[in-house]
Amino acid sequence: MTGLATSRNRAAPHAASSSSSSSSAALRASVMRGLRAEVKTLSPALFYDAEGARLFEEICRLPEYYPTRTEHAILARHAGELAAHAGPGCALIEYGSGAGVKVRYLLDRLERPVAYVPVDISREQLLDVARERAGQYPGLRILPVCADYTTAFELPALPSSARRVAFFPGSTIGNFHPAEAGAFLRRVRHVVGRTGGLILGVDRRKDPRLLHAAYNDSAGVTAAFNVNLLTRLNREFGGEFNLDLFRHRAFFDDATSRIEMHLEARVAHTVCVGGEAIQFDAGETIHTECSYKYDRPRLEALAEAGGFRVEALYSDDRDWFWEAWLVPAETCCQNP
Ligand code: AVI
């Protein structure tokens, strides 16, 4: 295993808070901009402080929250086919590797992979995962990169003959707005080059009642995850939110094909944040997250916007989730 490569350090969908003062000033400015806006909006990246990351792990185990266990089942069943698409001797690059559990289905089945490149902003977890995988896959080069994978980052040197295959599981692509998702895929397309590929976890459109239940679980964990954002604003951004005056709201919007999560003010009141008064009407919300759900035309449009085409789709028995195999579109010629 070689050393840790570091790139720019900004918050990502699964990132713990960044430590550098310039990035925390930028984060503070974006929080204040979001709270001053006509439609109050905060970045979902703010969910993932230590408590938020813990609550998200709990969400993944909830009976109503199907994506995690469904994706595991697809990977357990189809890892062999995905590995065959990747081909022998590939370099596997995982975007937002986190605890790096799902990648094991692929590493177990890939034919003589030359390298595994986990990319994550959380340095400590990245190093833990790199050490663990090194023990589990002796002989495999593990090249961790500490970076915000939502922006351009530098890859470690890889053998030029190795096909580059990106892995972005978890349906985190759904937390990007369509234009951001297209831009993200274009960056991935640039990284994997003309001959590479992308294994992408995608949550599918389905009965809105199932979606509603997944984001309004009966144990209230998703609500706690959402409200925890206010606790973070109080602790890190000089907020004085009274948590009892806000409630969790999540609903599916059919027209945009997305779950929206909001924090709704129960009564009209004013909150002081960083010395500034922020006015809330009764029922007014802070929009905290979108989670887009894809059907085939939407996924194909996304792939096309990113310079890919959908070559194969693997789903579960209930057709709730996809593990998609995307390859560069022939028409995409702007990048190498
Ligand atoms: C991380 N992401 C894919 C989750 C989702 O389903 O959009 C985040 C989440 N929000 C509420 N529950 C889970």
Structure confidence by residue, pLDDT tens digits, 56-107? 999 999 999 999 999 999 999 999 999 999 999 999 999 999 887 999 999 9
Query: For ligand 1, what atom is nearest to the CA of residue 13?
Result: 1
Are 224 and 55 in contact by the 8 Å Cβ rule? The answer is yes
- Residue closest via CA to ligand 1's atom 3 equals 172
Which residues, in sequence order, are CB contacts of 313 under 8 Å at separation 6+? 296, 322, 323, 324, 325
- Residue closest via CA to ligand 1's atom 7 equals 291
pLDDT of amino acid 172: 97
Query: For ligand 1, what atom is nearest to the CA of residue 14?
Result: 1
- Looking at residues 157-165, what average pLDDT do you find? 95
pLDDT of amino acid 330: 76
211/233 Cα distance (integer angstroms): 28
Mutate to test the pocket of ligand 1, among 42, 47, 56 (most ligand atoms within 8 A of CB): 56
Ligand 1 geometric centre to CA of 60 (Å): 9
102/107 Cα distance (integer angstroms): 9
Q: Where does the chain show beta strands of DSSP type E?
A: 5-6, 91-95, 115-120, 141-142, 145-146, 164-168, 197-203, 246-253, 258-265, 269-273, 276-280, 285-292, 308-315, 321-328
Residues in the chain: 336
Ligand 1 geometric centre to CA of 88 (Å): 33
pLDDT over 60 (residue 336): no
**Each residue of 27-57: pLDDT tens digit?**
899 999 999 999 999 999 999 999 999 999 9
For the whole model, what pTM was predicted?
0.92
Burial of 146 (0-12, 13-18, 19+ CB in 10 A): buried
